[in-house]
Amino acid sequence: MTDYGAANVAATTGQAPAIVIRRLTKLFGPLAAVATIDLDIPAGSFFGLLGPNGAGKSTTLAMVTGLLRPTGGQIWVDGIDVWSNPVEVKKRIGVVPETLLLFERLTGSELLQYVGILRGLDADIVADRSKDLLEVLALDEAANKLIVDYSQGMRKKISLAAALIHAPKILLLDEPFESVDPVAVRVIQSVLRRLVDGGATVILSSHVMATVEDLCQHVAIMNQGRVVVTGPIDEVRAGGRLDDAFARAVGAEVVDASTLSWLQGRTPVDEPPML
């Protein structure tokens, strides 16, 4: 197997990284959406990928999962080169992308059956796991409803169920809590913690700092296509708050809202006379 320089990560985690990225680049014309990044994601960890809009997070995840071909660089998932052996990589991962592309004319139950069989699972196992996932994610009453009629939050949950049905070794999530109600968020967090407790790796891209602080042990912050900070979350926030560390890392300026003084004590606008 190719030596990808994982000794430094293995020395601290006791095992090789779940994902290794070396000199990864993605160009869209003259624009470098991802600009030659290196990243090690420890196995068995909850890893947060952070950054402002347009930082390159979703592009990076798309390349890691084999949905987007890099302009340059290499990616190993569980020690396997993503582009040399994509089928083996896909066997090991589950993915919930930010933009959900689902089979709209299947029911939730039919989607899970389809994905489970596609993953090579026995039909009885698929049926049992589908039932469990639909119940835990509060989708059991919508199991026989067409996905086209699902709300955005329900679509997020059925996508997560489809990504989990084969018990993936590595799960990649791009804004998984967007449009999901607070009760469902707590349930999903519990499911993800159970997955990590079982030895899996979860990579979470999110803008919600409180969620990342609550779940993740390691983080990387991207800005303008580059990884600007990475490490254990306690080291990154350095005794402070993660959102402060994030702002420093991306060079966010303090915005002066005093120019909007008209928002306070405004005078009612004269209404036009009634005709």
Would you state the structure tokens that stand for residue 80, as one six-digit string? 């396997």
pTM: 0.86
Residue 93 lies in a domain: yes
DSSP classification of residue 148: G
Report the alpha-carbon distance of residue 58 to residue 33 in Å, rounded: 10
Report which residue type is found at 239.
Answer: G
> Quick check: is 271 in a domain?
no
Q: Which pLDDT belongs to residue 98?
A: 81
| Residue 104's CATH number | 3.40.50.300
Handedness of CA 69, 73, 76, 81 (dihedral sign): positive
The domain of 120 spans 7-251
* Residue pLDDT, tens place only, 70-102: 999 999 999 999 999 999 999 999 999 887 788
- Residue 1 within any structural domain of the chain: no
pLDDT in tens, the chain (275 residues): 343 444 444 444 457 899 999 999 999 999 999 999 999 999 999 999 999 999 999 999 999 999 999 999 999 999 999 999 999 999 999 999 887 788 999 999 999 999 999 999 999 999 999 999 999 999 999 999 999 999 988 999 999 999 999 999 999 999 888 888 899 899 999 999 999 999 999 999 988 889 999 999 999 999 999 999 999 999 999 989 999 999 999 887 767 777 888 787 765 666 666 66
Per-residue pLDDT at 130: 97
Q: Which two tokens stand for residue 250?
A: 């991306």
Whether 15 is covered by a domain: the verdict is yes
Give the DSSP letter string of 203-228: EEE-S-HHHHHHH-SEEEEEETTEEE
Asked, for residue 73, whether it belongs to a domain, the answer is yes
Quick one: pLDDT at residue 97?
Answer: 86
pLDDT in tens, 237-249: 998 999 999 999 9
**256 inside domain:** no
How many CB atoms are closer than 10 A to CB 107? 19
| Amino acid 266: pLDDT | 60
- Are 195 and 164 in contact by the 8 Å Cβ rule? The answer is yes
In-domain check, residue 2: no
Number of domains in the chain: 1
C-alpha span between 115 and 261 (Å, rounded): 55
Q: What is the mean pLDDT of the chain?
A: 89
Q: Is residue 116 included in any domain, yes or no?
A: yes
